[in-house]
Structure formats: C-alpha cells, structure tokens
Amino acid sequence: MFTGIVEELGEVVATEVRGDSARLTVRGPLVTSDASHGDSIAVNGVCLTVVDVLSDGSFTADVMGETLRRSSLGGVSAGGRVNLERALAVGGRLGGHIVQGHVDGTGAVISRNPMEHWEVVRLSLPTHLARYVVEKGSITIDGVSLTVSAVGRDESGDYFEVSLIPTTRELTTLGSASVGATVNLEVDVIAKYVERLHSVSSEGSSGEGFRYGGAALQDTASGGVEE
C-alpha cells in the first residue's frame, strides 16, 4: 500500500521489451537506499516489484503486458522522469490517502490554468470511472494523491479538475505534464468496495442478505441487523 506522497523524482535509465512485457531500469537513490529484491515501489502510480537493486542507485522491475496496456508505462523511455514512492511501512504516516498502486485507467491533460499561487489542471476521465470521482474526494494521478476540486461533463466527455500548489509542481512530474499528456489514474478504492458490497447485497442471491461474522445484514427497512 502507498499514500500518494511522492518521495523522489526518478529517471528511467533503460527499457527492455520482452515479448508482450518489459523490464524497466529506474534510477532512484532515495527509494533504493533500503530496497531489496521483492520490495514494492510505485512508479508513476504503478506498483512494481523490485527485481534487482544496482550499485548506482537504480533498480529493475518487470512490467507485464496488461500493465503496459492499462497504464502509461508502455510509453516511457530512457531519460524520462517518473514519480517514485516506497510502500508504506507499518506505523508510517498516511499523508495522502490509501493508494494500492493498481491503475484503473488513463486520462489526458485537457488544460492548465495558472492562478496567483496555484494552478488548476483539467483532465479527461474515462466514463467507467466517473462514478467513483467526486468533488472534494481523493484521486491518484501518476502516483500523486490529490483532492478533486471539480467534476463535470461536456461535449468531449467526463472530466475532473485538481489544483496544484507550487510544491507539487516542483517535486512531481505533474508540474511539467503538457496539454495532451497521458497520466495514470487510480480512483479511491473505498468507493469501489462500497459499490461492490451494495450490488452484492442488493442482488440477495441467498435470500439472507450480505453475510458477515454470522449475522445477516438486512435492509434497515426490514428490521435492521438480525442475529
């Protein structure tokens, strides 16, 4: 699990295509300082498993075809900058929100509107993810935990907006993401769980409601919780 607080701007050293998968080599002296084989590091919001840690502060990781298709990692190349974050340690600070590193889809930067002390960025939102994105809710963009400042829909489709403070622009790749750039999106996992639990309990396939701990959770209109 991650928090969406980027620890380091890394650099892609090399990409090696292996059939429908790839191996990435990424330089990140901070995140590799205590890393070892099998550890998890989020690269632009994608949870990757460390294969090797190299002496120059780089690490290698394998990316399977599904991840390449679903995320923007299929388009990275040597010299590119990426957001890096180590997995949250037990007892660590949850500075952003719960981030799994499981990208739900990609969006594109539609516009950037500089303000006096921050910048409003509008991004496209895949229709199948729109129901999970709400104003003042959390979303992860290229591994960065951000608060949604607005949601909407126009003739081009669904979109949302976030506001970037100078620190976020300086310390993450979002500061240099140009209009048209593709970014990874991960919606709040809690929203997906709530939707799934609601759909399962509404179906009522067993006729006993959603089972938990030996109790059948019934609709409140029919008597609440029944032991």
Query: CATH number for the domain including 132?
Result: 2.40.30.20
User: Tokens representing 146?
Assistant: 């951000």
**214 belongs to a structural domain:** no
Between CA 139 and CA 72 the distance in angstroms is: 17
Give the integer Cα–Cα distance in Å for 170 and 51.
29
Please tell me whether residues 82 and 109 are part of one structural domain.
Answer: no
**Is the pLDDT reported for residue 205 higher than 80?**
no
* Whole-number Å distance between alpha carbons of 108 and 86: 25
Q: Is the distance from CB of 44 to CB of 136 less than 8 angstroms?
A: no
Q: Convert the pLDDT of each residue in 23-58 to its tens digit.
A: 999 999 999 999 999 999 999 999 999 999 999 999
Q: Are 111 and 34 members of one domain?
A: no
pLDDT, tens digit, for every residue of 72-109?
999 999 999 999 999 998 888 888 888 999 999 999 99
Cα atoms in the Cβ-side hemisphere of radius 13 Å centred on 225: 6
| Residues 15 and 71 grouped into a single domain | yes
Q: Sorting pLDDT into bands at 50, 70 and 90, what band is 213?
A: very low
49 and 120 part of one domain: no
- Looking at residue 2, the DSSP 8-state letter turns out to be B
Domain final residue, candidates 37, 59, 86: 86
The number of domains in the chain is 2
Termini Cα distance of the chain = 34
pTM of the entire structure? Answer: 0.85
Which tops the pLDDT comparison, 25 or 208?
A: 25
Strand residue runs (E) in 104-179: 105-114, 119-124, 138-141, 144-154, 157-164
Residue 164 has pLDDT above 70, yes or no: yes
* Rounded (10°) CA dihedral 172, 175, 179, 185: 30
Domain check: are 15 and 79 in the same one? yes
**Is 116 found in the same domain as 173?**
yes
* Residue 222: predicted pLDDT: 43
My answer on whether 111 and 182 are in the same domain is yes
C-alpha distances out from residue 23 to 60, 76, 91, 131, 179, Å:
7, 11, 32, 34, 28
pLDDT of residue 91: 84
In a domain, 201, yes or no: no
pLDDT above 70 (res 216): no
What whole-number distance in Å separates Cα of residue 196 and Cα of residue 199? 5
Q: How many CB atoms lie within 10 A of CB 98?
A: 16
Residues 13 and 56 in one domain: yes
CB 132 within 8 A of CB 192: yes
Residues 73 and 32 in one domain: yes
Residue 91 placed within a domain: no
Would you say residue 211 has pLDDT above 50?
Answer: no
Is the same domain home to 54 and 129? Answer: no
Q: Which domain holds residue 38?
A: 8-86
pLDDT band at 206 (very low <50, low <70, confident <90, very high): very low
Q: Is residue 119 located within the same domain as residue 180?
A: yes
What the block records as the tokens of 200 is: 């399962």
**Domain for residue 92, yes or no?**
no
Helix/strand/coil for 71? coil
Q: How confident is the model over 173-189, as pLDDT tens digits?
A: 999 999 999 999 999 99
- What is the residue type of 88? L
The answer to the question of residue 205 being in a domain is: no
Q: Do the domain assignments include residue 54? A: yes
Please list, residue by residue across 124-133, b when 16 or more beta carbons sit within 10 angstroms of its beta carbon and e when fewer do: bbeeebbebb
Q: Does residue 210 belong to any structural domain of this protein?
A: no
Do 113 and 80 share a structural domain?
no
The answer as to whether 55 is a domain residue is yes
pLDDT (mean) for 120-143: 96
Model confidence at 203, in pLDDT bands (50, 70, 90)?
low
